[in-house]
Chain A
Amino acid sequence: GNSVTQMEGPVTLSEEAFLTINCTYTATGYPSLFWYVQYPGEGLQLLLKATKADDKGSNKGFEATYRKETTSFHLEKGSVQVSDSAVYFCALTGSVFYGGSQGNLIFGKGTKLSVKP
């Protein structure tokens, strides 16, 4: 079945460092891919998405490119800030055309990022 694997955390960086959080997936069909972020004490927020191969999602300085050949959707940011400290979840949707549940967002286990001043 569909699954998402993301790098284990926690990840600790200094402010202005480059960030990469790896995410790979296994899926039938053509899923949409997402990054969600959960700031301390807050709910889950959609950070960015990509719906087809070679699409690049971007938001708040974060980027991720849908790579079908490597089944990856790595999250990157060129210069992190203390305010980026959060837990980041990679996720994909099942494809209803291949028997998946449309609502079933499949999440990775999350990667906790801590950014130090």
Chain B
Amino acid sequence: SAVISQKPSRDICQRGTSLTIQCQVDSQVTMMFWYRQQPGQSLTLIATANQGSEATYESGFVIDKFPISRPNLTFSTLTVSNMSPEDSSIYLCSVVPSGSPTDTQYFGPGTRLTVL
């Protein structure tokens, strides 16, 4: 497995602003992902963060709303842009550690976002 940290752990933001969430891993990983967990709901994949290139977004998610960076093998950011109350969720990054089976993901502790 890998030790995954996220910053911030929680935040309360105003409508119309943007928040950048960081995901840091203590070892190199082959794959990194960003998920959203809306209140009382399950997790939904937002995008795959590709190292050195543009992220791959799932249906219903767009780069303008959720820009993602992954400058190296251990770090990624997700920005939630022009926020509205509907963006209130827990945002989680997950990784596939190098040398681990590609079907098994490990999750960070999540960032709890509340938009007023």
B42 touches A109 (CB 8 A): yes
Q: Do A101 and B48 form a contact, CB below 8 Å, given A43-B108, A51-B103?
A: yes
B102 touches A102 (CB 8 A): yes
A32 to B1, CA, bound (A): 18
A105 touches B105 (CB 8 A): yes
Task: Give how many A residues have a beta carbon under 8 Å from the other chain's beta carbons.
Answer: 21
B19 interface residue, CB < 8 Å from A?
no
A105 to B43, CA, bound (A): 9
A104 to B58, CA, bound (A): 9
Q: How far is the CB of B100 from chain A (nearest CB, A)?
A: 11
A46 interface residue, CB < 8 Å from B?
yes
Q: How far is the CB of A88 from chain B (nearest CB, A)?
A: 12
B42 touches A103 (CB 8 A): no
Residues of chain B with a CB closer than 8 A to A17's CB:
none
Closest to B96 in A: A103
Residues of chain B with a CB closer than 8 A to A110's CB:
42
A45 interface residue, CB < 8 Å from B?
yes
Q: Mark A7-45, 1 if CB is under 8 A from B, else 0.
A: 000000000000000000000000010101000001111
A71 to B108, CA, bound (A): 29
A109 touches B33 (CB 8 A): no
Q: Do A43 and B43 form a contact, CB below 8 Å, given A101-B58, A102-B102, A103-B33?
A: no
Closest to B47 in A: A103
B104 touches A49 (CB 8 A): yes
Q: Mark B21-38, 1 if CB is under 8 A from A, else 0.
A: 000000000010101000
B31 touches A103 (CB 8 A): yes
B92 interface residue, CB < 8 Å from A?
yes
Hey, which bits of chain A sit against chain B, CB under 8 A?
A: 32, 34, 36, 42-46, 49, 51, 89, 93, 101-105, 107-110
Listed by A's residue number, 5 A-B pairs whose Cβ atoms lie within 8 Å are A46-B106, A51-B101, A101-B48, A103-B48, A104-B58
